Amino acid sequence: MDLPSLLALAWPVMLRGTAYTLLFAVASMLLAVPLSAAITLVRVLRVPLARQLVAIYVSAIRGTPLLVQVFIVYYGLPSVGIEFSPITAGILALTLNVSAYMSESLRGAIDAVTHGQWLAGTSLGLTRAQTLRYVIAPQGLRAAVPSLSNSLISLIKDTSLVSVIAVTELMLATKELISTTFQPFPLYLAAAGVYWVLSSSFEQVQRWMERRLAFPS
């Protein structure tokens, strides 16, 4: 099969796969941002018991492969009566994974703010929560933008792992095309190009956020 014919055949299939990839990435991001913020608040504000529980959660997520987490959510939970569709299971697994990494980025950025800023908030009569909101968080967010962006870019690439639960995202769509056309090199190269374009788009968002927050690039 010549290249123009191959591209004509592959383009609609890969476009649908890309749409699923974007669905997983965007949905997981939207869910992970508030979840990671909540985890960070619990740890920074030192909420009793909950702080230890979320620390265990973060450690478990960071210490196990995402592929195993996908298997646990989709294949493991039904054994205890909790069952999800492939799309829901994929979004849930990706959300739980990326939220753990994002929370560590946020916590590290907040910890990097000098202790004097906390003391300044206290001297103004602010509670610890108020100091975090009005003094610490704005400074920490600026420092966290690059690390948070890396987590989101990694999320786009990690969506390829949901192909193992029969979701026809970009990677599985590419494999299916290869099984019928026997043209692995151009098709894998095309898939790599799509992932690159998607990741580059999020890099542009990162730069825009850095400019808005007056963070030096």
Query: Which pLDDT score, from 0 to 100, does residue 213 have?
Result: 66
Domain that holds residue 112: 3-212
Q: How many domains does the chain have?
A: 1
In a domain, 68, yes or no: yes
The pLDDT of residue 216 is 47
Task: Output the pTM of the full model.
Answer: 0.86
Q: Specify if 89 maps to a domain.
A: yes
The pLDDT assigned to 138 comes to 80
The reply to whether 96 falls in a domain is yes
Contact (Cβ atoms closer than 8 angstroms) between residue 167 and residue 90? yes
What distance lies between CA 24 and its chain's CA centroid?
9
Q: Is residue 88 part of a domain?
A: yes
Name residues of the chain where pLDDT drops below 50.
215-217
CATH code of the domain covering residue 134: 1.10.3720.10
Residues 169, 159: contact at Cβ < 8 Å?
yes
Q: Kindly state whether residue 217 falls inside one of the protein's structural domains.
A: no
The HSE-up count of residue 182 (CA atoms within 13 Å, CB side) is 1
With a CB cutoff of 8 Å and minimum separation 6, the contacts of 126 are 134, 135
Residue 67 forms part of a structural domain: yes
**pLDDT reported for residue 178:** 92
Nearest of 9, 20, 3 to residue 156 by alpha carbon: 20
Give the Cβ contact number of residue 96 at 10 Å: 21
